[in-house]
Chain A
Amino acid sequence: MDAKTLESDALTAIAAADTTDAIETVRVEFLGRKSALKQALREVRDRETGMTLNAVRERLEAAVDARDDELARAELDRRLTTEKVDVTLPAGGGGRGHLHPITQIRREVEDIFLGLGYRVVDGREVETTRYNFDALNFPAGHPARSPQQSLFIDDKTVLRTETSPSQIRTMEAQQPPIYVVSLGRCYRRDTPDATHTPIFHQVEGLVVDEGVTLADLEGTLDFLLKKLFGEERRTEFRTHDFPFTEPSIEAYVSCHVCDGDGCPVCRHSGWIEIGGAGMVDPKLFEFVGYDPERYSGFAFGWGLERIAVLRHKIPDLRELWRNDLRLLRQF
Chain B
Amino acid sequence: MKAPLSWLREYVRVDATAQEIARRLNVSSLEVERVLDVGVPDADGNLARFAVGKVVEAVKHPNADKLQLCQVDVGEGEPRQIVCGAWNFGVGATVAVALPGSTVFSKDGELFQLGEAKLRGEASRGMILAEDELGLGRDHAGIMLLPDGIEPGTPLADVLPIHDQVLDVTPTMNRVDLLSMVGLAREVAALCGGELLPIDVVDPPIRHPELVEVTVEDPDRCPRYIARVLKNVTIGPSPIWLRARLYAAGMRSISNVVDVTNYVMHVHGSPLHAFDRSLLSGGCIVVRRAADGEELRTLDGTLRKLDSRDLMITDGEKSVALGAIMGGQESEVTDQTTEVLLEAANFEPVGILRTSERLGLRTEGSNRWEKGVDPYSAEPAAILATRLIVDLAGAELTGAADIHSGLPARPVVRLRPERTDRIVGLTVDPDEQREILGRLGFEVDDEWDVTVPTWRARDVTREIDVVEEVARVVLERVPHTMPLRRLVAGHLSEDQRLRRLVEDILVGAGFAEAYTWSLVATDPDSRAILLPAPMTSEQAVLRTTLLSGLVDAARVNVDAGNEPIALFELARLYLPTGEQLPEERWRVGGIVQGGFTAARATVETIYAALHLELRVRRAVLPQLHPGKSAEIDAGWLGELHPALLDGEWGVFELDLATLFEPIPERIDYQDVITYPAVDQDIAVTVAEEVEAGAIRDVVVGAGGPELREARLFDVYRGDQIGAGRKSVAVHLSFQSSERTLSEDEATAMREQIVEALAERFGAELRA
Residues of A within 8 A of B (CB): 95-100, 102-103, 107, 110, 113-120, 122, 124-128, 140-143, 146-148, 151-154, 156-157, 159, 177, 179, 185, 187, 189, 191, 198-199, 207, 209-216, 218-220, 222-223, 236-241, 246-249, 269, 279, 281-282, 296, 298, 320-326, 328-329
Chain A residues with CB under 8 Å of B562's CB are 324-326
Task: Check B574 against A97 for contact (C-beta < 8 Å).
Answer: no
Kindly identify which residue among A103, A117, A142, A321 contacts B489, using a CB–CB cutoff of 8 Å: A117
List of A residues within 8 angstroms of B479 by Cβ: 215, 218-219
Beta-carbon contact of B490 and A117 below 8 Å = yes
B8 within 8 A of A: no
Is B426's CB within 8 Å of the partner chain A?
A: yes
Contact A328 B482, beta carbon cutoff 8 Å: no
B566 cross-chain contacts in A, Cβ below 8 A: 97
Q: Is the CB of B512 within 8 A of A325?
A: yes
Name B354-376 residues within 8 Å CB distance of A.
354, 357, 370
**A327 CB to nearest chain B CB (Å):** 9
0/1 interface trace, chain B 486-501, chain A, CB 8 Å (1 if under): 1111111100100010
A-B interface contact total, Cβ < 8 Å: 236
B475 at the A interface (CB under 8 A)? yes
Asked whether A214 lies within 8 Å of B493 as measured between CB atoms, the reply is no
From 500 to 518 in chain B, residues with beta carbon under 8 angstroms from any chain A beta carbon are 500, 503, 506-518
The distance in angstroms between the C-alpha atoms of A133 and B185, with both chains bound, is 34
Q: Is there contact, CB below 8 Å, between B531 and A152? A: yes
Query: Given the complex, which residues of A lie within 8 Å of B485, measured CB to CB?
Result: 116-117, 177, 179, 209
Question: CB within 8 A of A238: which of B353, B475, B486, B532?
Answer: B475
Other than A128-B580, A216-B425, give 11 A-B pairs with Cβ distance below 8 A: A99-B507, A120-B496, A124-B584, A126-B529, A141-B353, A152-B531, A239-B472, A241-B175, A247-B423, A328-B513, A329-B512
Give complex CA distance A98, B572 in Å.
Answer: 20
B560-594 interface mask toward A, CB cutoff 8 Å, 1 = contact, 0 = none? 10101111000110100000111010000000000
User: What are 5 A-B contacts defined by CB distance under 8 Å?
Assistant: A119-B491, A120-B492, A125-B574, A189-B535, A239-B468
Q: Are A199 and B173 interface neighbours, CB within 8 A?
A: no
Q: Which residues of B are interface residues toward A (Cβ below 8 A)?
A: 26-29, 31, 34, 172-175, 349-350, 353-354, 357, 370, 422-426, 462, 464-465, 467-468, 471-472, 475, 478-493, 496, 500, 503, 506-519, 529, 531-535, 539, 542, 553, 556-557, 560, 562, 564-567, 571-572, 574, 580-582, 584
Given A119-B491, A141-B349, A211-B484, the answer on whether A97 and B507 have CB atoms closer than 8 Å is yes
**Cβ-closest chain A residue relative to B574:** A126
B residues less than 8 Å from A100 (CB atoms): 512-515
A213 x B475 contact (CB < 8 A)? no
A110–B492 touching, CB < 8 Å: yes
A126 touches B484 (CB 8 A): no
**Cα of A146 to Cα of B370 in the assembled complex, Å:** 13
The dominant DSSP class at the A interface is mixed
Kindly provide the distance from the CB of A239 to the nearest chain B CB, expressed in whole angstroms. 4
Find chain B residues with CB under 8 A from A95 CB: 510, 564
CB contact under 8 A between A107 and B509, given known A117-B485, A143-B353, A326-B562 = no
For B467, give the chain A residue with the smallest CB separation.
A247
* In the complex, residue of chain B having the shortest beta-carbon distance to the beta carbon of A273: B31
Residues in A with CB closer than 8 Å to B174 are 241
Chain B residues closer than 8 Å to A117, beta-carbon distance: 485, 488-490
Shortest distance in angstroms between A295's beta carbon and chain B's nearest beta carbon? 11
Asked if B480 and A219 sit within 8 Å, CB to CB, the answer is yes
Q: Which residues of A contact B487 (CB under 8 A)?
A: 177
Q: Is the CB of B493 within 8 A of A120?
A: yes
- Check if A279 sits within 8 Å of B423, measured CB to CB: yes
In the complex where A213-B425, A239-B28 touch, is A107 in contact with B500 (Cβ < 8 A)? yes
A31–B10 Cα gap in the complex (Å)?
117
Beyond A141-B353, A240-B172, whether A199 also contacts B464 by CB under 8 A is no
Q: Whole-angstrom distance between the alpha carbons of A298 and B423 in the complex?
A: 10
A98 touches B513 (CB 8 A): yes
Across-interface contacts of A141 in B (CB, < 8 A)? 349-350, 353, 370
Complex CA–CA separation, A202 to B173 (angstroms): 22
Known: A103-B513, A323-B553. A177 touches B481 (CB 8 A): no
Q: How far is the CA of A42 from the CA of B705 in the complex (A)?
A: 60
Asked if residues B510 and A97 are in contact (CB atoms below 8 Å), the reply is yes
On whether the beta carbons of B484 and A198 are closer than 8 Å, the reply is: no
Asked if A214 and B515 make an inter-chain contact with CB atoms under 8 angstroms apart, the answer reads: no
State whether A323 touches B493 (Cβ < 8 A).
Answer: no
Residues of B within 8 A of A185 (CB): 518, 571-572
10 cross-chain pairs, A with B, having the tightest CB-CB distances, nearest first: A213-B425, A215-B425, A141-B350, A241-B172, A97-B507, A117-B488, A219-B480, A323-B553, A247-B468, A239-B472
Q: Say how far B520's CB is from chain A's closest CB, in angstroms.
A: 11
B496 touches A97 (CB 8 A): no
Chain A neighbourhood of B564, CB < 8 A: 95
Question: What A residues does B556 contact at CB under 8 A?
Answer: 322-324
The residue on B at minimum CB distance from A268 is B34
Cβ contact of B490, chosen from A113, A124, A177, A199, cutoff 8 A: A113
The reply to whether A223 and B513 form a contact with Cβ atoms under 8 Å apart is no
* Contact assessment for B557 and A212 in the assembled complex, using a CB-CB cutoff below 8 Å: no
Provide the bound-state CA to CA distance between A177 and B27, in Å: 30
How far, in whole Å, are A149 and B211 apart by their CA atoms in the complex? 45
Q: Does B514 contact A323, Cβ atoms closer than 8 Å?
A: yes
**Distance (whole angstroms) from the CB of A206 to the closest CB of chain B:** 11
Q: What is the CB-to-nearest-CB distance from B514 to chain A, in angstroms, rounded to a whole number?
A: 4
Given contacts A103-B503, A126-B542, A238-B27, contact A246 B480 (CB under 8 A): no
Residues from chain A with a CB closer than 8 A to the CB of B26 are 238
A148–B553 alpha-carbon span in the complex (Å) = 29
B539 to chain A, nearest CB (A): 7
B472 CB to closest chain A CB (Å) equals 4
Contact at B496–A122, with CB atoms within 8 Å?
Answer: yes
- B445 to chain A minimum Cβ distance, whole angstroms, is 23
A147's partner among B488, B533, B539 (CB-CB below 8 A) is B533
Q: Which of these, A99, A157, A159, contacts B513 with CB under 8 Å?
A: A99
The CA of A119 and the CA of B494, in the complex, are separated in Å by 12
CB distance from A318 to the nearest CB of B (A): 11
